[in-house]
Structure 1
Amino acid sequence: MKPIILVKLGGSTVKSPNLQRWIAAIEQTTEPCVVVPGGGPFADTVRRHQAQLGYDDATAHEMSVLAMEQFGCVLLNMSKRFVAADSLEAIDMALSTGRIPVWMARNMVMNAVEIAQDWTTTSDSLAAWLQGKLKADRLCLVKLIDVPHDSTVDALSRAGIVDPAFPEMVSPEGKLFVAGPSDLATAGRRFALGDVPGRIVPTSPDASSRGSVIAAE
């Protein structure tokens, strides 16, 4: 694994007054860091109109990946340190110059036959997939809620806090953190120290049957 922090910034943060504060915290990182944007309200629009317009799940999947890129464009407009990156090479180039790449997922994801093209796989799982491609040692999911200290990936999936594919997609070799509102006050300092905010969530199979979690909001 490589010393890279992958931060999946949930699209739901679009609705939060704390979005700019999370961006400011991420900008303080002293470690190589990659931002994965969620789909947020852009993906919600895709889901809302699927039944009405009748497009299939594969089409909805591609549109939702494009929704991630739309939120990515928003993030690029909010930080001078962020830069768009749509390939592993572009990510490496950005990291080598001290920038923070924002992953534009479509080119990589739509060519990956191992990724299910349906609603079981959303931006959380795509972040975990990218973690595997980069061999990043840490993945941080920024959420609008705090999760209990004894949470597991299976419990998070059952509660709808991560998508159904996530438990199988996340790497057991890396560390998983889930950060919520209570972590924001110290997030900038932790990033500046090369650390990651949030609660560590076990990813090993033997821990997946234990743990509790509050329902998704």
Structure 2
Amino acid sequence: MWVVKLGGSLNQDASLPQWLDLLAELGGGRVIVVPGGGAFADQVRDAQSHWQFDDLVAHNMAVLGMAQTALMLQGLCPTLQAAAGEQPLRRVLKGGQTALWLPLDLLRSRPDELTTWDTSADSLALWLAQRLHAERLLVVKSCAIDGRLTLSQLGDAGVLDAGFAQRARQAAFPIDLLHRGELTRARALLLDESLSCRPFAD
């Protein structure tokens, strides 16, 4: 089973329907799509900056932003099956479909290690992949990705969140970062699991 995180920056990008069609076509029974927050999360940042509410509130609002993105993605590609929680996600995969994570199980009543801005949707996708013992994590970005950099360096450059590299040290699966223009490479990876990922080190 693979987890594929689609960056929220793709929410208004012309390539988004192509990514959704690809994952629906080749991901049945083995791919869980994780949505980014996109502009919904940006609005949370703006509101927190204005009103100065705490990070727990911001986290829950950002999770709802990811859920809004998920509903939008399902509206664009109804073949994707939205599910909240680990067992519902597994049931979607068992049914041979591509799952779309509604991350409502991440709503929190008290702070924990996930409820800070150092943990973006990228780290939440990694968290989910670890929880489900995934075989691979793909993170699709709109920004340029320098494959010579480590995950820590990509965090310093703002490509990944500050907590991603540390959490990735515990990952027992390959992590691949793709640019939104790499649809052909993503298709090849999905068709041939033996293809190696970029060797991101920490």
1:133-152 paired onto structure 2 within 5 Å: 133-152=131-150
- RMSD between aligned alpha carbons? 2.2
C-alpha distance after superposition, 1:53-76 (max 9, x if no partner): 232111011100110000000111
Runs of 4+ in structure 1 over 6 Å off = none
Q: Show the counterpart of 1:213.
A: none
Does 1:7 pair with 2:4? yes
TM-score by length of 1: 0.84
Q: Partners of 2:43 and 2:137 in 1: how far apart? A: 27
Find the counterpart in structure 2 of residue 119 from structure 1.
117
Does 2:173 match 1:179?
A: no
The sequence identity of aligned pairs, in percent, is 29
Name the counterpart of 1:65. 63
Spell out, residue by residue over 1:62-118, the C-alpha distance to the aligned partner (whole angstroms, 9 max, x if none). Answer: 100110000000111111321111111101100001111111112245379653312
Q: 1:105 corresponds to which residue?
A: 103
**What letter is aligned with 1:64?**
A
Partner of 1:17: 14
Alpha-carbon distance between aligned partners in 1 of 2:42 and 2:159, rounded to the nearest angstrom: 15
Cα separation, partners in 2 of 1:198 and 1:107, compared to 1, 3 Å:
same
What is the count of residue pairs matched by the alignment?
A: 200
Tell me, yes or no, if the aligned pair for 1:94 and 1:101 is still in contact at 8 Å. Answer: yes
Tell me how far 1:190 sits from its aligned partner: 3.8
Indicate which of 68, 78, 81 corresponds to 1:80: 78
Where 1:98 maps in the other structure, the secondary structure is coil
- Give distance in 2, aligned partners of 1:88 and 1:21: 26
CA contact (8 A) 1:183 1:197 kept: no
Q: Is the 8 A contact 1:140 1:198 kept in 2?
A: no
Shift of 1:157: 0.4
Instruction: Give the aligned residue type for 1:106.
Output: L
Q: Quick check: 1:177–1:198 contact (8 Å CA) kept in 2? A: no
Output the TM-score relative to the length of structure 2. 0.89
Corresponding position of 1:155: 153
SS in 1 for 2:11: helix
Stretches of structure 2 that go unaligned for 5 or more consecutive residues are none
8 Å contact 1:151–1:201 — kept in the other structure? no
User: 2:74 is aligned with what amino acid?
Assistant: L
Q: What is the distance in 1 between the residues matched to 2:111 and 2:74?
A: 28
Q: Distance in 2 between matches of 1:57 and 1:113?
A: 8
